[in-house]
Amino acid sequence: MSLALNLSHEPITKIPHGKLAMWAFLASELMFFSGFFGGFIVLRNTNYDVFGAGSAHLNWTLALINTFILIGSSLTMALAIHNLEHKKDGAFRLFMGLTILGGFGFLIVKYIEYSSKFADGLFPGQENHTVFYSFYFLMTGFHALHVIAGMIPMAYIFFKGFTKAGYPYPSKVETLGLYWHFVDLMWIFIFPALYLMIPYHVAGAH
Amino acid sequence: MSTSLAHTEEHADHGHAHEHEHHDLPWYRKYVFSTDHKVISKQFMLASLIFLFIGGAFALMLRWQLAYPGEAIPVIGHLLPDTWVAEPGSGVITPEFFVQLTTMHATIMIFFVIIPMAVGMFGNFCIPLMIGTDDMALPRLNMWSFWLVPPAGLIMLAGVFTEMGYAGAGWTSYPPLAADINKEAFTFSGQTLWLISVFMIGFSSIMGAVNYVATVLNKRAKGMKLFDMPLTVWGLFITAIIATLGTPVLAAGLAMLFFDNFFHTSFFIPDHLVSGASFPGGGQPVLFQHVFWFYSHPAVYIMILPLMGIVSEVLATFSRKPIYGYKAMVFAVAGIAFLGFIVWGHHMFQSGMNPLLGTTFMLSTIVIAVPSSIKVFNWLGTLWRGNIHFSSAMLAALAFVSMFIIGGLSGVFMASAPVDIYIHDTYFIVAHIHYVLFGGSLFGIFAGIYYWFPKMFGKMLSESWGRRHLFWSFLAFNATFFPMHVLGIGGHMRRIYDPNVYDFLKGMQGMNEFITIAAIVMGFSQLMLVGNILYSLKWGKKAPRNPWNANTLEWAAPPHPGHGNFDMDITVYRGPYEFGVEGRELDYWPQWEPGKSITVHHHTIAVSDDTSTSVGMH
């Protein structure tokens, strides 16, 4: 609505505004998780045995299933974008739905994991809680919050896809996809750090 | 489109264009949940000015207690409730309330005044106008970045309703103190609310910052290269990068501290800590200091770099000279931003950190003096033999430069670990931080307000009241904070409740009283700014389009620009500081004016269109 007509030009970097801001935001997110990982590195070195015992107690099979669910949902997200760009609305809705389903699947597995931790008394304030589990709940908790935060706009886009006009903005879905891949990638770091880094002497004892 | 265009052009000269552009929006979309960057900027200004006076009032209560310990606070003393706020029946604040006031004063001034003003208010106002575009890249995100601030402020101030009152662990909120180790898990204290509030403010900062980055990179006017941007935009752009990379680390630290405080985890709680509640232990308190200062040292530059840009703008405009060393200024800002990320340990010389690490941080800190000195040198170079106009904005900018020199020099004292061990936790530190944050940042903000008020509100501020305000602020500021250097070297600890308890401080009590009187004068002289603003809004002279004869793009917009900002096409032909160009009648040459020029030995010479370029070469 500007009176000056030459102001609304194409983005100078050729990257849409939302996507550029999303890249900046992902840099920011990276630093956010870096804060946690920094703390993790320091405290793991001063509480080596506690962290080893904690890692050995975690259920890595469930986490591995979750890893594949998230990677799979990243793939379906990419396929959803591809189909929306090629105006294949049916396939777009299918893959978007599968992505959301992946998010739900991840959260359900997380719920199973958390409830077994609760039964073992590992929650903060419970008797078996250690500083390792502080990190476990902090990092997986914030990661799960990111999953939920991604699923909300996905659900909106998914339901918009059923209207007559369909969802008209492929670039916005692409921006959301960037975020979703980031959430996936963050899990790829959290998974080995929490579940797989078990020192030999602890692993042998179990 | 064509009818609305004709409709608005008719009214553009009266500054009413925005009303017509907007008439389909309900009032709450125009003034409350607006996505227009100028409205958001004014919202930041209003919120921060309110917080400025709350924070200032807290500081004056502190000062009264320091100067006259045990005497009731005048006027309001007997209104204070006899709980943790005041000693029963006396109107004297309690030690607990005293530390809560120091915490709240610092937090409010840093997170709710300086950062929202420097980054929120000027960032929103200047970036789109100075790069010649109609709005931010993502206007709705911009709106949300403001609307997190008032709830965050209210959550923090709601600490007054908790059992023990406000947060009291200092603005640095070091654990274990800030973890409230005697508090039950799952209960709220002022400190818990403080953590939530600062987390929200951080999120608001990040949302603003990613928007600034996208706007500067994507929406510059036609013809504007990165090195045609005014230094204000450069300052804000680099600040946005710092905020993008630094703030989330603070958020991570606050999240961990919140877990310790609320869920009783022990990221920062060591083994064998005696407390009323149980903690698993195994954490490290110093870890929090590292995480905290990794953000909070760069945050110091978040609070000063935008103002350095604004001051450069004002100095060039009112000396009628090009900024001395434009590119050096940009690289100095970038250098300060980079170095800012590798010096945080200088806040921790006394924390029990490895002394060898301290030496590293000492060296990297002292290196920051180099880009800072480049900036000061170039400001002085800009002033040198300029045609200086002592307007209010210029006076504030000169105050910024001179106070920044003093604050910067005392910073070199502290950067040196052996000296810092002596002056650590004394009033010398208090003097230093106020010289950079008040003498620097706040005077920079004053400069910005005096400079851009005509564009923000379409009215001129009163110059004579502006001068009075700055004269009294400057005088009282120095009377308040300069003696604190002496107090600090004399050994006066900061955050103490009653200096009379210590024999060695009794001889300096007169100085404390002097400081308090000066602080009261300084506090009340700020009313001149508010009065000036309110008077000018109602009765001020209408502002012309370019009242200061400046070059940058915001002065191409109509006074009090409406939605969409500009009423003409904007194409940028040259850099932002072409003052005193040879071959022109006017001593300034706006960026948007067509015209050819050549550059000889860093001097720009205007040439007429039909002249062949070889003529002007000699």
Query: Which pLDDT value is given to residue B601?
Result: 79
Average pLDDT over residues B579-583: 88
Cβ within 8 Å, pair B213-A20: yes
Q: How many domains does chain B have?
A: 1
Give A139's contacts in chain B (Cβ within 8 Å): none
A61 in helix, strand or coil?
Answer: helix
Average pLDDT, chain B: 90
Query: Which pLDDT value is given to residue B23?
Result: 57
- CATH assignment at residue A171: 1.20.120.80
Query: Which pLDDT value is given to residue A178?
Result: 96
Which candidate in A5, A6, A7 is best for mutational testing of the B interface (most B CBs within 10 A)?
Answer: A7
Give A125's contacts in chain B (Cβ within 8 Å): 185-186, 263-264
In B, minimum Cα distance to A37 occurs at B252
pLDDT band at B19 (very low <50, low <70, confident <90, very high): very low
Average pLDDT, chain A: 92
Give the CA dihedral A39, A44, A46, A48, nearest 10 degrees.
170
Q: Which of residues 127 through 146 in chain A touch B, CB cutoff 8 A?
A: 129-131, 134-135, 137-138, 142
User: Nearest to residue B107, comparing CAs of B199, B63, B171?
Assistant: B171
| pLDDT tens, position by position, B284-316 | 999 999 999 999 999 999 999 999 999 999 999
| pLDDT tens, position by position, B175-192 | 989 998 888 889 999 999
Q: A151 near A100, Cβ under 8 Å?
A: yes
Report the distance separating Cα A89 and Cα A85, nearest Å.
Answer: 9
Chain B interface includes A172 (CB < 8 A) = no
Residue A34 lies in a domain: no
**Worst-scoring range by mean pLDDT, B3-7, B268-272, B418-422, B598-602?**
B3-7
Task: State the distance between the two ends of chain B, measured CA to CA, in whole angstroms.
Answer: 51
Which candidate in A3, A40, A172 is best for mutational testing of the B interface (most B CBs within 10 A)?
Answer: A3
Q: Which residues of A76-109 are buried (b: 16+ CB within 10 A; e: fewer)?
A: bbbbbbbbbeeeeeeebbbbbbbbbebbebbeeb
Give B202's contacts in chain A (Cβ within 8 Å): none
Cβ within 8 Å, pair A35-B253: yes
Query: Which pLDDT value is given to residue B178?
Result: 92
Indicate whether B14 pLDDT > 50. no
Count of positions (residues) in chain B = 618
| pLDDT tens, position by position, B115-134 | 999 999 999 999 999 999 99
* DSSP strand pairing (B603-607 vs B596-600): antiparallel
> How close is the nearest chain B Cα to the Cα of A176, in Å?
15
Chain B interface includes A113 (CB < 8 A) = no
Residue B407 lies in a domain: yes
Query: Which pLDDT value is given to residue B219?
Result: 93
B281 in helix, strand or coil?
Answer: coil
For chain A, what percentages of helix, strand and coil (3-state, to nearest 5) are there?
80, 0, 20
Q: How many domains does chain A have?
A: 1
Indicate whether B94 pLDDT > 60. yes
Report the distance separating Cα B95 and Cα A93, nearest Å.
Answer: 63
B607 in helix, strand or coil?
Answer: strand
Which residue's entry shows tokens 């476990």? Answer: A136
Residue A196 lies in a domain: yes
pLDDT band at B595 (very low <50, low <70, confident <90, very high): confident
Q: Identify whether B176 is preceded by a cis peptide bond (ω within 30 of 0).
A: yes
In A, minimum Cα distance to B215 occurs at A17
Q: Nearest 5°: phi and psi at B493?
A: -70, 150
Give A38's contacts in chain B (Cβ within 8 Å): 290-291
Residue B438 lies in a domain: yes
Residue B395 lies in a domain: yes
Q: Which of residues 28 through 57 in chain A touch B, CB cutoff 8 A?
A: 28-36, 38-39, 42-43, 46-47, 50
Report the distance separating Cα B367 and Cα B362, nearest Å.
Answer: 9
- The secondary structure of B111-159 as a DSSP string is IIIIHIIIIIIHHHHHHHHHTT-SS-SSHHHHHHHHHTHHHHHHHHHGG
The answer for residues whose C-beta is within 8 angstroms of residue A201's C-beta and 6 or more apart is A52
Give B209's contacts in chain A (Cβ within 8 Å): 24, 28
Indicate whether B8 pLDDT > 50. no
Residue B13 lies in a domain: no
Cβ within 8 Å, pair B570-A4: yes
| pLDDT tens, position by position, B105-117 | 999 999 999 999 9
Residue A129 lies in a domain: yes
Q: Nearest 5°: phi and psi at B14?
A: -90, 0
- The secondary structure of B52-97 as a DSSP string is HHHHHHHHHHHHHHHHSTTSPPTTTGGGS-TTTTB-TTT-PBPHHH
Residue A190 lies in a domain: yes
Residue A9 lies in a domain: no
Query: Which pLDDT value is given to residue A72?
Result: 96
Residue B573 lies in a domain: no
Query: Which pLDDT value is given to residue B338?
Result: 95
Average pLDDT over residues A147-174: 93
Cβ within 8 Å, pair B564-A2: yes
Average pLDDT over residues B436-451: 95
Indicate whether A201 pLDDT > 90. no
Indicate whether B196 pLDDT > 90. yes
Cβ within 8 Å, pair B283-A131: yes
Report the distance separating Cα A100 and Cα B28, nearest Å.
Answer: 35
Count of CB atoms within 10 A of residue B608's CB? 10
Give the CA dihedral A94, A95, A98, A102, nearest 10 degrees.
-170
- CATH assignment at residue B175: 1.20.210.10
The answer for residues whose C-beta is within 8 angstroms of residue B550's C-beta and 6 or more apart is B313, B317, B588, B590
The answer for residues whose C-beta is within 8 angstroms of residue B144's C-beta and 6 or more apart is B204, B207
Report the distance separating Cα B127 and Cα B137, nearest Å.
Answer: 11
Average pLDDT over residues B361-368: 93
Name the residue facing B282 among A24, A31, A50 (closest C-beta).
A50
Q: B466 near B526, Cβ under 8 Å?
A: no
- Find the domain containing B155 and state its range: 33-555
Residue A200 lies in a domain: yes
Query: Which pLDDT value is given to residue B13?
Result: 41
Query: Which pLDDT value is given to residue B384?
Result: 93
CA B280 to chain centre: 40
Give B281's contacts in chain A (Cβ within 8 Å): 131
Which position has the higher pLDDT, B59 or B89? B59
Cβ within 8 Å, pair A21-B211: yes
Residue B577 lies in a domain: no
> How close is the nearest chain A Cα to the Cα of B229, in Å?
14
| pLDDT tens, position by position, A32-46 | 999 999 999 999 999
Which residue's entry shows tokens 């604004």? Answer: B310
Residue A131 lies in a domain: yes
Average pLDDT over residues B398-418: 93
pLDDT over 70, % of chain B: 94
Which residue's entry shows tokens 């993790």? Answer: A40
Give B186's contacts in chain A (Cβ within 8 Å): 125
Q: A174 near A79, Cβ under 8 Å?
A: no
Report the distance separating Cα B280 and Cα A126, nearest Å.
Answer: 10
Q: B497 near B98, Cβ under 8 Å?
A: yes
Which candidate in B8, B16, B216, B218 is best for mutational testing of the A interface (most A CBs within 10 A)?
Answer: B218
The answer for residues whose C-beta is within 8 angstroms of residue B614's C-beta and 6 or more apart is none
From the number of C-beta atoms within 10 Å of its C-beta (0-12, 13-18, 19+), residue B496 rates as middle
Average pLDDT over residues B534-550: 94
Indicate whether A95 pLDDT > 80. yes
Report the distance separating Cα B505 and Cα B110, nearest Å.
Answer: 29
Residue A80 lies in a domain: yes
From the number of C-beta atoms within 10 Å of its C-beta (0-12, 13-18, 19+), residue A185 rates as middle
